[in-house]
Structure 1
């Protein structure tokens, strides 16, 4: 079955099927190869993308900017002092304004609710470049690296050592559950992941019949 993600948001990986995640990884690998070969694309020709950064970042900003330009798009950086997001204007109003001017919105900041409200009210695709809860674009990059080195995701044992409650641990656990990986978190009990999310991920794995395990 053909995969069509046109006009879809990327707020976390919860709402993407394993097949859709695999498609995104295939697309990423193809674009990476074209970049290395010096081949410019036109997937975003005539499109403008708003890059909202409440939190500064070297890699995320550069990655989104270069990716848009390489595919013929125009990225517009909007730092925390450039717009009135959540201050003089509420998020819904800002989303509506940006949605009339831009073809897509990337958000990197704090609250997951903000990126979800941008998606709800803007009328254009919204991509989560990081919130306190999730970091889906980073997980796609990590999974591409795993696949490049091991040739697969399914059955790989992926060990994460650190704060099991943060956005990376949350997103890795969700992605691993979808893709049939064996995900292990090494953390002191005070930094264990949210039991509700662990249960949700175990249900995702069962629903997808991915064979994933979480420890």
Structure 2
């Protein structure tokens, strides 16, 4: 089902396949908690190429690779001939001959898709501007751990309408849960993502609402999900505009009163206290942010294991 397959987007998977990944992640998490060996990838080598900075994704992937018994080596683009104009297809073919998989974090989705085109070994998306499938998997695992199931869940997402949001939209359309995306008018999801989600929702019954009404989005929500208002490395002028535009969309204890009493608070991190969230909510009893961060490692282990053995 998975062996040798790329993980470029959640759009590549069926519900059953994602449930298999989540079940595998749960099993690997239990083994890790019990300190049971699970070196299923001993003798394998994984290339890790990050063209964008990272904390959680880099650490979680390299920890996951080590726990699975494989070796990894981290590459920056300025260390490779890519920086001096070598074609992607040449670099991809060489990595394919030396390594058993490539984990890549980059800008355009077309770039990682080009690597995948010229590699026979699996290519795993560790974030592009369009999608963040591993974060999406960790989010689904976290929700199921704290809410038992995804059916009937309402998620309120408030923040930048970009890769993390896109992966949530895709996940909602596949699993049929309700997702309200609260954002200022003018910040819209990608057309490709919305077309997929709209088509899939017809079969699953998913309700995906893009709104500028935060109060309505929060109403009776099971999950409140904050994300940063400005992306890494963006222009300072754009950051200032975004801070102003998104200011009414902060998730805090006052706003959270509209959610269900047992709501959980999520954030993919890095988080900015005083902007998209308050100290009180991220450090409060409803926060599952650190469980969510840990689950990145377990879902990444699952993807690596399923695609490489």
TM-score, length basis structure 1: 0.93
With 197-206 and 59-68 compared, the bigger mean Cα shift is at 197-206
Aligned partner of 1:82 in structure 2 is 79
| SS of corresponding position for 2:94 | helix
Is 1:117 aligned to 2:114, yes or no? yes
Do the aligned residues in 2 keep the contact of 1:163 with 1:192 (CA within 8 Å)?
Answer: no
Q: Which moved more, 1:62-71 or 1:84-93?
A: 84-93
Cα offsets for 1:3-49 (capped at 9, x unmatched): x2111111001110000011111111111111111112122111100
Number of residue-to-residue matches in the alignment: 209
Structure 2 unpaired stretches of 5+: 210-309
For the pair 1:126 / 2:119, whether they are aligned, the reply is: no
> Take 2:113 and 2:18, find their aligned partners in 1: how far apart are those partners?
20
How is 1:36-75 mapped onto 2 (pairs within 5 angstroms)? 36-75=33-72
Distance across 1 between alignment mates of 2:15 and 2:176: 9
Instruction: Report Cα offsets for 1:69-109 as digits up to 9, x if no partner.
Output: 11110111111222123643111110000000000000011
Q: CA deviation at 1:189?
A: 1.0
2:188 is aligned, of 185, 192, 196, to 192
Superposition TM-score, scaled by structure 2 size: 0.65
- CA-atom RMSD, angstroms? 1.3
Q: Is the CA contact 1:155–1:212 (under 8 Å) kept in the aligned structure 2? A: no
Which stretch of structure 1 is more off in the superposition, 127-136 or 30-39? 30-39
Paired position in structure 2 for 1:210: 204
Mapped to 2, the partners of 1:132 and 1:171 lie a distance apart of: 11
**Residue in 2 that maps onto 1:137:** 134
Specify the alignment match of 2:167 in structure 1: 171
Larger CA Rg, structure 1 vs 2: 2
Q: Is 1:17 aligned with 2:22?
A: no
> Residue 264 of structure 2 corresponds to which residue in structure 1?
none
User: Compared with structure 1, are the counterparts of its residues 40 and 13 closer, same or farther at alpha carbon in structure 2 (3 Å cutoff)?
Assistant: same
Larger RCO (CA under 8 A, 6+ residues apart): 2
Q: Between 128-137 and 38-47, report the one with greater CA deviation.
A: 38-47
